[in-house]
Copies of this chain bind each other. A is one copy, B any other.
Amino acid sequence: MALAALALVDSGGLESLTMRRLAASLSVQLPTLYRLFDNKQALLDEMAETVLSGVLGRVHLADDAEWAQRITALARALRDTLLAQRDGARIVGGAYTTKQHTLTLGETMQASMREAGFPADIALWASTTIFSFILGEVLEQQGATGGEVEALTASVSGERYPHFAAAPLALFVDFDARFDFGLRVLLTGLEAERARSTVDTSVQPSPPAGPPAT
């Protein structure tokens, strides 16, 4: 039933998801939904779980990959998963995130970092930081209307925003490049954090993470 709800969101956006429409699409009576979910929020939580359940399946990576490559693959998989579902970021961001697939994802990220020598607290915060960054980026991308460049161009035309005017505005809405940049910056910063915090690892310190293939 979470799948049917996600299909409704895919075709009409999150606003179009109503308990009545979901009941109709499932050919059940409206009160029947309330025996499956306590309320609409419980349905949305389940939808968030369903969306996230697809993430690990998207990760294709050798087990002996560098930690930065593994984190990159996980981050990309999460972003792609959110983008694949209309309003995916709003669904996931609005749910209470302590259920199974959320934990599995965080666990996997932390595992890669612990193996690479990160302390437990750093590994935890690194995964929450990456998660927040991805959520914020996809939220903005999925909220973009397509007319953003036009609106920006109009707003920026004067002399009040010289720096926005200096960068080609297309860069602002090049969400793939924005994401790659931000992720690379995070990984470079994390590598420095590891060098600072690890006293001894059997792994040779690798050079700053470097640009992941773009």
Contact = CB atoms under 8 A, between A and B. Distances in A.
Contacts of A122: 181
A5 interface: no
Copies of this chain: 2
Contact of A97 (B140, B163, B208): B140
Contacts of A172: 124, 128
A94 interface: yes
Given A110-B163, A111-B163, A171 B131 contact: no
Q: Majority SS of interface residues in chain A? A: helix
A91 interface: no
Nearest to A102: B155
A151 interface: yes
A196 to B, nearest CB: 9
A29 interface: no
A58 to B, nearest CB: 20
Indicate the size class of the contact surface on chain A.
35 or more
A163 B168 CA distance: 43
B125 A178 contact: yes
Nearest to A151: B98
Contacts of A111: 163
Given A103-B160, A128-B137, A185-B189, 20 more contacts: A96-B143, A97-B140, A98-B152, A104-B160, A107-B160, A110-B164, A111-B163, A120-B166, A120-B167, A124-B164, A128-B172, A129-B181, A129-B182, A129-B185, A131-B136, A133-B133, A134-B136, A184-B193, A192-B192, A192-B208
